[in-house]
Amino acid sequence: MQAPEQAGNENPFELSDLIPPSLLEEIRGAFQKSLGITMSFCIGAPTKEQAQSDRENWPIPIEFEGRHLGVFRIHLPIKRLPLWNPSIPDTEIARVVESLLRPLLAMLLWMGYRSHLAAQVQLQSAELAHRTIENYKMRLEKSEGVIQSAERIKANLLATVSHELRTPLTAIIGYSDLLLSGLAGELLPEQAEYIETIRNKGEELLALIGAMIELSKSERGAIQLDRTQVDMRALLEEVVQTLSFQAEKKQIQVELDVEKDLPPFFGDPLRLRQVFRNLLENALKFTDEGGKVRLCAKTKEIPQEDVTGPGAAIFGLPRRALEISVTDTGIGIDPAHQERIFEPFFQVDASASRSQGGTGIGLALVKSLVEAHGGRIRVESKVGQGSTFFVSLPLDEEEREGSRLD
């Protein structure tokens, strides 16, 4: 096939882009039907047989959009045409056939050109979309790298600063204790009260620093679990007992409902105590006087995707888990904030939380401790009606076998 001229055209096309061979076949069929002759078409040079009877090959130049695209040859056995007449020159008959074919060819070329353009536009927009996606991907990868290094710097800074703060703070608390004990001399009641305040605030600050160190450790994945068989009933009873003073102060009724024969959990008792103490503390903090808080522990089947941590990929089967829930009748959490409360330092109402002694670190730490145990935490809540925090801790089958607590 003859190559198209390209000069001055930004969007070069081949003749085959415009006239698909299947269309030529269709025309051939139509001519055969209407004129009763078999014609053959060729674009460009004639075939061997066509060249043999050169007189029966009629070239029609193909011009389109001011460009010469090639030659359309019709193999036309003139003598077999119904309109053949020895008195009319062959060239005249060919001219008639050509005049019939020309508009048809022009229409074909135009249709082909249109669909060619449409295909080009589609191709270009697909390419553009692909390039845009690639661009976004690159930018995303870049910013992910920046975020990761910023996170690392933040975690290291948090750990170092917190560590450095702990030493002077321990001295402040220690000297306050010494003054309060009277070993350094008798204190006036007012002085004792001030020093007591210094001591208490120092303790609060120490607890906050401790939580920040823990959080930065958990963000670096550096929390070490000291796992052992944990009797969850005993652990929850102890947590409720520890916070009974706070509950009584607000006249909040705390209920504990633990399933009979609850299997032991292979976990770190200190960390688990920290998790449930934090959840119960929050429940008491965000519930008005006279409200109710209920802790519930039971076994449950969980879908595989609810398992996190190193053991998460074990087979695709559902697994058993301990589900411990903490329900309160408190202020509740707006759906828009329910995911965000697990982010470090996020507080729905910072001023209210701070006045109650909150820092916004608790739930972030709770989440990473639960996940370090391969578990999940989620919340269900309605504003004004209360919240339930669900902690699910997967029971490892091997661990569970023959390891019941007495």
The residue ranges that bind ligand ADP (CB under 6 A) are 282-283, 286, 328, 330-331, 333, 341, 346-349, 353, 358-364, 387
DSSP 114: H
Our CB check for ligand ADP shows the closer of 176 and 216 to be: 216
**How many residues appear in the chain?**
406
Min CB(391)–ligand ADP separation in Å: 13
Q: Pick between residue 44 and residue 360 the one whose CB is nearest to ligand ADP.
A: 360
Least Å distance, CB 329 to ligand ADP, is: 10
Nearer to ligand ADP, 288 or 349 (CB): 349
Residue type at 318? P
Q: Residues 264, 228: contact at Cβ < 8 Å?
A: no
Cβ proximity of 387 and 381 under 8 Å? yes
Main-chain phi, psi angles of 391, to 5 degrees: -115, 125
- C-beta of 327: minimal distance to ligand ADP in Å? 9
Q: Which residues pair with 393 in a beta bridge?
A: 322
CB of 165 to ligand ADP, least distance (A): 19
Strand, helix or coil for residue 144: helix
Pairing of strands 319-328, 386-394: antiparallel
- The structure tokens listed for 203 are 């303790």
Q: Which of 221, 82, 99 is nearest to 148 (CA)?
A: 221
Cβ nearer to ligand ADP, comparing 100 with 352: 352
The CB-of-346 to ligand ADP minimum distance in angstroms stands at: 6
> Would you say 50 or 218 has its CB closer to ligand ADP?
218
17 vs 203, beta carbon nearer ligand ADP: 203
Q: Which residues touch 139 (CB under 8 Å, ≥6 apart)?
A: none
For the bound state, the minimum distance from the C-beta of residue 287 to ligand ADP, rounded and expressed in Å, comes to 7
Using alpha carbons, list the distances in angstroms from residue 323 to 203, 232, 307, 389, 391.
33, 11, 12, 10, 6
> Distance between CA atoms of 40 and 25, rounded to whole angstroms?
9
Q: Structure tokens of 201?
A: 């605030």
- What residues does 266 pair with on adjacent strands? 229
Residue 227 Cβ, how far from ligand ADP at the closest point, in Å? 25
Shortest Cβ distance from residue 246 to ligand ADP (Å)? 13
Q: Which is nearer to ligand ADP, 31 or 342 (CB)?
A: 342
Residue closer to ligand ADP (CB basis): 184 or 383: 383
| b/e burial code for range 159-169 (CB count within 10 A of at least 16 → b) | beebeebeeeb
